Amino acid sequence: MSMMTEATTLTELLERIARREHLSHDEWKTVITEAETEDLRRLADALRRELNPDGVVTYVVDRNINYTNVCFSVCNFCAFYRKPGHEEGYVLSYDEIYAKVEEMIAVGGSGVLMQGGLHPDLPLEWYTTLLSELKQRYGIHLHCFSPTEIYGMSKTFGLTSEEVIRELVAAGLDSIPGGGGEILVDEIRRKRRTECNGQEWLEAMEAAHRVGLKTTATMMIGYGETIDQRIQHLELLRQLQERTLTSGQPGFVSFIPWTFQPDNTPIGKVIPTRLPAEEYLRWLALSRLYLNNIPNVQVSWLTVGLADGRRGLHFGANDIGSTMIEENVISKAGANHKATEEMLRDVIIGEGFIPRKRKADYTRLPLAS
Ligand code: SF4
């Protein structure tokens, strides 16, 4: 039954969520549209405490390296890319990347989150040599190449996603970030990006899970999608995680919802405003509850700011993300929040939790590090 009957009140739906039951699409829709924010917060916080009884909130010190801005996809929510042949297109040299990694290590970082555009000309060896050099030189955690980039490489090299991932893993890849997920429903996706549909993104992730990699899942809201599409997105992730867990792999280790940043993007002329913090926090809480088969949820302080980011720790988030020593993609679209490791630790302690540094795959680092 998808319609709420008289017997199915909002209170009963909230009670079923508290029992960790999975609701129907329409029932979740009723919850997100009708529940009090405090009820969502309370339920998400209870689940978060159940899943993390030690009161720890994790964070990571790493560096986002955007190795190229050249991209053959044309996403109208993106302020970062330059089309192939554009005079402002760049590819970082290995030496430039090594220098960035050394700066990251100097401030106590554990790895790099390397992402870029879909470059049409870089050979596979460019990626594999870079990974193996980084691993050999520095022994750091390599959290690199979103499913969109894996898709781009598979098109460019005529390989399947799984074949691409196996080559990258053999070269040193440790885990895959969930960039490019946005909303995985093609009805909105077709209006926003030209490459990598929802199925292709999910297939790349499923291939990564098959290979045994840990990955993160994301959702970008506020770029013109409907509530139904947000719920469909969560369902697609939940189902993929269900399949992965059944096969004995860890799959998605975290879910990270963030908000669309409109500045300097083509679609920003139509959608110039950011999502209100209240709406973000409601969806953060709903995501925690919906995706109760994913162990961690990260609040995106980078897009909503630290003031609202810290509130997210009471709306289901048990991770506050990265210090973001360098970030070029969403900062170009107007998210210019910055934080040091000390600031993140102070926020975590200030909200009553215990800070703990982790790696990109959510493995906690020894206390002394
Ligand atoms: S969002 Fe990613 S895939 Fe889309 S244009 Fe920007 S860099 Fe390219």
- The residue whose CB lies within 8 Å of the most ligand 1 atoms, and thus the one to mutate among 67, 70, 80, 190, is 80
Burial 241-251 (b: 16+ CB within 10 A, else e): beebeeeebbb
Q: Which pLDDT band, with edges at 50, 70 and 90, does 323 fall under?
A: confident
Q: Is 73 in the pocket of ligand 1 (CB under 6 A)?
A: yes
Q: How many residues does the chain have?
A: 369
What is 22-358's CATH number? Answer: 3.20.20.70
How many Å apart are CA 73 and CA 82, to the nearest integer? 9
How much distance in Å is there from the Cα of 258 to the middle of ligand 1? 16
Q: Rounded mean pLDDT of 215-236?
A: 97
- For the chain, the structural domain boundaries read 22-358
Is residue 78 lining ligand 1, measured as CB closer than 6 Å?
A: yes
Of 74, 77, 78, the residue with max ligand 1 atoms within 8 A of its CB, to mutate for a pocket test, comes to 78
pLDDT band (50, 70, 90) for residue 2: very low
Model confidence band, residue 107 (pLDDT cutoffs 50, 70, 90)? confident
Residue 133 has pLDDT above 50, yes or no: yes
Find how far residue 32's CA is from the centre of its chain: 21
The answer to whether 152 touches 201, Cβ cutoff 8 Å, is no
Q: Which ligand 1 atom is at minimum distance from the Cα of 71? A: 8
Q: Which residues contact 77 (CB under 8 A, 6 or more apart)?
A: 182, 192, 193, 220, 223, 260, 262, 265, 266, 267, 268, 333
Nearest CA residue ID for atom 2, ligand 1: 117
Q: How confident is the model at residue 260 (pLDDT cuts 50, 70, 90)?
A: very high
Query: What pLDDT sits at residue 197?
Result: 96
Residue 166 CA: distances (Å) to CA of 51, 69, 151, 162:
32, 24, 13, 6
The pick from 90, 149, 193, 223 for probing ligand 1's pocket by mutation, whose C-beta has the most ligand atoms within 8 angstroms, reads 193
CA distance 290 to 300: 18
Which residues, other chains included, contact 312 with Cβ-Cβ below 8 Å and sequence gap of 6+? Answer: 280, 281, 284, 299, 300, 301, 304, 320
Closest ligand 1 atom to Cα of 149: 3
Verify whether ligand 1 is closer than 6 Å to residue 28 (CB atom).
no
Count CA atoms closer than 13 A to 334's CA, side-chain side: 14
For residue 91, which phi and psi values (nearest 5 degrees)?
-130, 125
- Residues of the chain above pLDDT 90, percent: 86
pLDDT score at 339: 80
What spacing in Å lies between the alpha carbon of 292 and ligand 1's midpoint?
29
Is any atom of ligand 1 closer than 6 Å to the C-beta of 81?
A: yes
pLDDT at 5 over 60: no
pLDDT at 95 over 90: yes
**Mean of pLDDT values over 53-75:** 95
Ligand 1 midpoint to CA 208 (Å): 20
Beta bridge partners of 296: 254
Q: What is the pLDDT of residues 272-320, one digit of tens each?
A: 889 999 999 999 999 999 999 999 999 999 888 889 999 999 999 999 9
- 113: confidence class by pLDDT, cuts 50, 70, 90: very high
**How many whole angstroms from 65 Cα to the centroid of ligand 1?**
15
Which atom belonging to ligand 1 lies closest to the Cα atom of 146?
2
Q: What is the pLDDT of residue 1?
A: 43
**Ligand 1 probe mutation, 66, 69, 73, most atoms within 8 A of CB:** 73
Tell me how far apart the alpha carbons of residues 205 and 199 are, in angstroms, rounded to a whole number.
10
Q: Cα dist. 267→76, 191, 367 in Å?
A: 5, 10, 44
pLDDT, tens only, 14-49: 999 999 999 999 999 999 999 999 999 999 999 999
**pLDDT at residue 366 above 90?**
no
Average pLDDT value for residue range 139-163: 98
Report, as an integer, the average pLDDT of 153-169. 98
Average pLDDT over every residue of 228-256:
98
